[in-house]
């Protein structure tokens, strides 16, 4: 008789909790952990998946340990692991490490450097099954960051393992389709100051007035989410509100600038973000090609993430 253990996978991020079950169901729950970390356990208990799932094992990965509510990343890892084990006290919890293996919750308390921000490695290990032979590049575009992970014969072969190393090598880009501040992508926006003038680049405020979600709302790449208020000003994720947020980057209101001009400015930001992403992808592909000269014309590309459309 074959006994099947139901597995619950958890990815605890700084802004979202992602859950998936071994029977193919998944769920994403918005949760800004830096605002109320003490509510993490209760948010986990509220997952709808748990109403129909009795897991025999919990597999955990995370990125929320970097949230500024924690004094150190190690403290963040331990807090997250403790919260998960408190929700599932009778169920084994296994934590994914960037060394490519799971450890127990107890071991994770001492292996915080390997457990921190390991979700990209878990994804790459799983995605590698789709490309068991030859070189490949996994491009995972999320709401906050983009991962560019080299694979060889189905195995992740990153140059760096922690986020600092990955930032240095270009395998981690802090650019996503929702949460990246506009002022982190561009320093100026094109604007026509009078009807008979040519558009000129106007320096923008170095303030978090608008994010890439606003940009992609205005270009039509993202749908409106009136119920979502996780925005720079706490107002809804609608095009009307996005116009005002983007106008604030230019130190004015949407009533001061024509909607067509603000939409054109959003298109400018979107294009700049895309070009920055493409430049990073080309660098990684060139590096892969130099490492696999006999297979440089056969490098496969895998796309994933909520913003995969940006790199498609």
Tell me the pLDDT band of 2, cut-offs 50, 70 and 90.
low
Q: For residues 226 and 1, give the distance between their C-alpha atoms in angstroms, rounded to a whole number.
A: 50
Tell me the pLDDT band of 1, cut-offs 50, 70 and 90.
low
Place of tokens 């603000």: 262
> What are the backbone angles phi and psi of residue 282, rounded to the nearest 5°?
-60, -40
Sign of CA dihedral 51, 52, 58, 63: negative
Structure tokens at 221: 């790449």
Cβ burial 278-308 (10 Å sphere, 16+ → b, else e): eebbeebbebbeeebeeeeeebeebbbbbbe
Nearest C-alpha neighbor of 209 from the set 236, 189, 181, 187: 181
Residue 139 · residue 307 · CB < 8 Å? no
Q: Is the pTM of this model over 0.75?
A: yes
SS3 219: helix
Averaged pLDDT, 140-160: 96
Distances (CA, A) of 35 to 22, 28, 68, 174, 213: 31, 18, 9, 21, 20
- Other C-beta atoms lying within 10 Å of the C-beta of residue 189: 25
Render pLDDT for 197-220 as a digit per residue (tens, 0 to 9).
888 999 999 999 999 999 999 999
Q: Is 123's pLDDT higher than 80?
A: yes
Homologous superfamily assigned to 132-312: conserved archaeal protein q6m145 (3.30.420.190)
Residue 63 · residue 12 · CB < 8 Å? yes
Q: Do domains 7-117 and 132-312 have the same CATH topology?
A: yes
List the domain boundaries for the chain.
7-117, 132-312
SS3 78: helix
Tell me the pLDDT band of 191, cut-offs 50, 70 and 90.
very high
Task: Number of helices (H) and strands (E) in the chain: give both, helices first.
Answer: 10, 13
Render pLDDT for 238-286 as a digit per residue (tens, 0 to 9).
999 999 999 999 999 999 999 999 999 999 999 999 999 999 999 999 9
Structure tokens at 115: 């457990």
Instruction: Give domain 7-117's CATH number out of 3.40.50.10680, 3.90.1150.10, 3.30.420.40, 3.40.50.2300.
Output: 3.30.420.40
Q: Is 3's pLDDT higher than 80?
A: no
Strands 93-97 and 57-62: parallel
Which distant-in-sequence residues (6+ apart) come within 8 Å of 124 by Cβ? 138, 147, 149, 151, 156, 158
Render pLDDT for 10-58 as a digit per residue (tens, 0 to 9).
999 999 999 999 999 999 999 999 999 999 999 999 999 998 899 999 9
Spell out where the chain has E strands.
7-12, 16-21, 26-30, 57-62, 93-97, 101-104, 135-141, 146-152, 155-156, 172-173, 188-191, 200-203, 300-304
């Amino acid at each position: 008789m074959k006994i099947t253990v139901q597995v619950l996978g958890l990815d605890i991020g700084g802004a979202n909790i992602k859950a998936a079950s071994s029977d193919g169901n998944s769920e994403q729950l918005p949760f800004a952990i830096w605002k109320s970390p003490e509510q993490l356990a209760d948010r986990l208990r509220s997952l709808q998946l748990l109403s129909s799932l009795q897991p025999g094992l919990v597999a955990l990965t995370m990125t929320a340990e970097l949230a500024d509510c924690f004094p150190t990343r190690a403290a963040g890892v331990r807090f997250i692991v403790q919260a998960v084990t408190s929700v599932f006290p009778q169920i084994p919890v296994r934590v994914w490490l960037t060394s490519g293996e799971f450890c127990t919750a107890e071991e994770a308390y001492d292996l915080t450097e390997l457990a921190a921000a390991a979700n990209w490695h878990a994804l790459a290990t799983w995605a590698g099954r789709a490309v068991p032979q030859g070189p490949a590049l996994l491009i995972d575009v999320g709401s906050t960051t983009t991962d560019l992970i080299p694979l060889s014969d189905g195995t992740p072969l990153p140059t760096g393992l922690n986020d600092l190393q990955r930032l240095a090598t270009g395998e981690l880009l802090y650019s996503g389709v929702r949460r990246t501040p506009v002022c982190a992508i561009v320093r100026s926006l094109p604007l026509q100051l009078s009807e008979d003038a040519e558009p000129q680049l106007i320096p923008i405020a170095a303030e978090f007035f608008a994010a890439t979600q606003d940009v992609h709302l205005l270009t039509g790449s993202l749908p409106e989410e009136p119920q979502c208020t996780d925005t720079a000003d706490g107002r809804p994720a609608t095009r009307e509100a996005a116009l005002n947020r983007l106008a604030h980057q230019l130190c004015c209101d949407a009533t001061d600038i024509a909607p067509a001009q603000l939409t054109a400015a959003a298109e400018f930001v979107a294009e700049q973000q895309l070009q920055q992403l493409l430049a990073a992808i080309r660098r990684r592909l060139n590096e892969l090609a130099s490492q696999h000269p006999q297979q440089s014309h056969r490098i496969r590309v895998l796309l994933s993430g909520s913003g995969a459309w940006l790199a498609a």
